[in-house]
Each structure stands twice: as structure tokens, then as C-alpha cells.
Amino acid sequence: MNEKKLVILMASTLVCFSVLSGCAEVFTVFTEGWENMNTEATAVRIWGRLSLLQSADNWEEGFVWDTEKHNDLDLYAHKEWATWHTGFQTFYLDIEDLDRTTTYHYRAFAEYQGPNSKIYSGIDRTFLPGRPIVHTYWATDVELNSAVLRGNLGFMGGAPSCEVFFVYGEDPDLMVDETPHQTLTSTGDFNASLTDLVKCDTIYYKAVAINDVDTTDGIILSVAPGQAGVQTYLPSEVGVDYAVLPGKLWHLGGVETCEVWFEYGDDNPNNLDENTTHQIMNTTGDFTAYVGGLKSDTTYWFRAVADNAECGIAYGSIKEFKTESGVKTDAENTRPRTIAKSNMAQIYNWLKNLDNKTFEKLIERHPLLERLVLLYLQ
């Protein structure tokens, strides 16, 4: 964001606070998402967030919830202060003894503790504890005329079983075909094979789960039989004037060999005008390319590319990285620096001040935090 836009945003925010009473609430507190806290689907955690323009020290945060929506916070059946503040402007509350089949409304609120104390609230959102959770995964075993669709049942919503299947079609807005339904009695992966497909024709699909409470679906993905599948990953190493770009060939598209390479550039993500040397692969797996001669302290964009000469070129997602600034020794440039040491110190100091129970629960849910701590202590 450039300086002019930032000034305009700050000015409009100040006007919003001083002139429009309803607008102030929007910029002060936000009602965020929710998550299940037990397999029986009778407990959930609801999240709220303060605006970055506010200091958490000046506010007391909480939630209201009910089985119906209200315009007045005082009309909600339940009101309780948040149990924990994360230190990143977010806060949450755990609610238990819920009916898994009931839809609940909830809103985050915050009370300003300074002069002229006032309560601001976020929008009303809903949660249904007993709905299942399903994820769509990328297809595998992609051949010239077939593919295997993959999904995962992540949460059963407290039900003894769930039906899972895929819907698919050539139009992402009109997927009318279904794979055979499967009954799962526990969470886990599932798949379905599609045969007699037309080579190079793109098929869109998503996973679906049904239990006694609700029907939910995963995101929409696509697969083209006969086309290679490739993914871009963040650089494994970045130095002052070089980077090591990683990618993965997920499938060859039913042929014996496939060319892979990377496109990159420092102009903008829509102008990747440089290419790495093409590599020939005869099996799926990871591949990398060393790129030298880069400009220091510069943002680059790149993506992995694959071509099996059957159905056109396949592209991975576009990623970005920034080269290091200044001149460093060869020893310093051999180690990737994906996270600034100062930022890691802030995370470490925040974590070590938590009580043991909170720390263990947080690490269990976010194992990456433990890796960051270990890397920081090295």
C-alpha cells in the first residue's frame, strides 16, 4: 500500500469514528469464525478480533449468543467475557453443553475502558455444531481418459456415520453428476474413480458430506485427463543474488515423460519473462532449479510449469519471494531465511509467557509454532 492510500485510509477511518456511530463499530471489533472443540459436537470455540487501530489494553472483549438473531446485544440469551486474548488482537470463548442440531447466532463485542466508555459489536454470525466437515483434495492417478478424485472427512459432527461422495461436471456452476455414495463411520480419506473421460477436457469437482444435521461441501478443484499436474512451493533458499525454486510434478497425465521448469520475473506477477532450464522427468516427484544473478533486496514472482505434449502447458500457482539486502558471506547465504529473527523473538517471548495448559493446546493445534521456537533457539 503506498503512502497516499494509507493517508486516505487513516483519514476516512477517523471521519468514520467521529461522524458515523455505526461505522465505528465496523472498524473496532469483528466477529470471526468458530471451530468444534469435541467429537460429540457439543462444544465450540468462537473467535473475535479487535481492529489493528485499537490497543487491546484499552478494551474488555466478550461475546453474546442465542438461538436467534437480535439487533440489541442485551436481548441475546447469553453474554460472557472472552476467556483468552492471543496477543494478536484476537480473542475467543469456549462454549459447552450445546445442542448439536441447533443453529446458534453469536456476536463479538468490546467495551472501551477509557473515558466515555462505550460498547461496540461485530456482525451477527451463526454456527451449527453438528455439521460435518469435508475437504476436497487434488486428483491422483490422472491418465489420458481417467482420474481418481480424492477427499477427506475431517469431522463427523457427532453423528455415528456420514455419507460422502463427489459431484462433478464440465461447468463449475453446474456440477450435476455424482459418484457413488459411501458411508463412513469415522473420519479419514476417501476417493472415487472417474473413467471414460474425454482427454484434455477439464472436469470440476468437489467433495460432499451428509449427516443427520446438515450437508456440507469442500472447495471446487479441477482436473484434465491427459494433462500434467504441477505445484509451486515457496523457495527453499534465498540469498542476496540467488534463490532455489522448488516445485512438484503431481502426475504426468498418462504419458511416460514430462518437461518441467520455472517462469520468474521481478516486474509483476503477470509478467514472468525469465525461464529456468527445462528438465525431463519420467516419474512424479519434487524438482528444483537454482536461479542466480538476481538483484538484491528485490521482490520476485515465479511459478512451476509442466508440459507433457498432450494437453497443453500446466501451471502451478504464482508465489513470491524477496532477495536479501546487502552483501553477505557465502556461509550466511547458504541458510534460508524465511522468517526474520526479530519476528521469531516476538513469537517466542509471547509463547513462553503462556501457562502450560494453554501452551500445550496451542502447540497441539499449530505444530509450526513449535518448529519456530526450536529454530529460534538454535
- 68-109 tens-digit pLDDT: 999 999 999 999 999 887 666 889 999 999 999 999 999 999
Under CATH, which architecture does the 133-223 domain have? Sandwich (2.60)
Q: What pLDDT does 117 receive?
A: 79
Sequence spans of domains, the chain: 3-127, 133-223, 229-333, 343-377
Pairing of strands 84-85, 90-95: antiparallel
Type of residue at 102: T
State the chain's mean pLDDT as an integer.
84
- Which residues, in sequence order, are CB contacts of 184 under 8 Å at separation 6+? 153, 156, 161, 162, 163, 164, 190
The band of 167, judged by pLDDT with boundaries at 50, 70 and 90, is very high
In this structure, are residues 250 and 229 in contact, taking their beta carbons and an 8 Å threshold?
yes
Query: Grid coordinates in use for 34?
Result: 468458530
Please state which CATH number belongs to domain 3-127. Answer: 2.60.40.10
In this structure, are residues 266 and 299 in contact, taking their beta carbons and an 8 Å threshold?
yes
Dist CA 22 CA 45 (whole Å): 27
Query: Grid coordinates in use for 48?
Result: 473475535
Q: What pLDDT does 27 receive?
A: 55
**What single DSSP character describes residue 156?**
-
pTM of whole model > 0.85?
A: no
Q: What pLDDT does 85 receive?
A: 74
Check for a shared fold between 3-127 and 229-333.
Answer: yes
Q: What is the average pLDDT across 224-232?
A: 95
Look-up of cell digits 458411508: 183
- Fold entry, domain 229-333: Immunoglobulin-like (2.60.40)
Ramachandran area for residue 173 (φ above 0: left; ψ -120 to 50: alpha; else beta):
alpha
Q: What is the pLDDT of residues 28-51, one digit of tens each?
A: 899 999 999 999 999 999 999 988
Q: What pLDDT does 58 receive?
A: 77
- Of 194, 257, 260, 259, residue with least CA distance to 223: 194
Dist CA 310 CA 227 (whole Å): 7
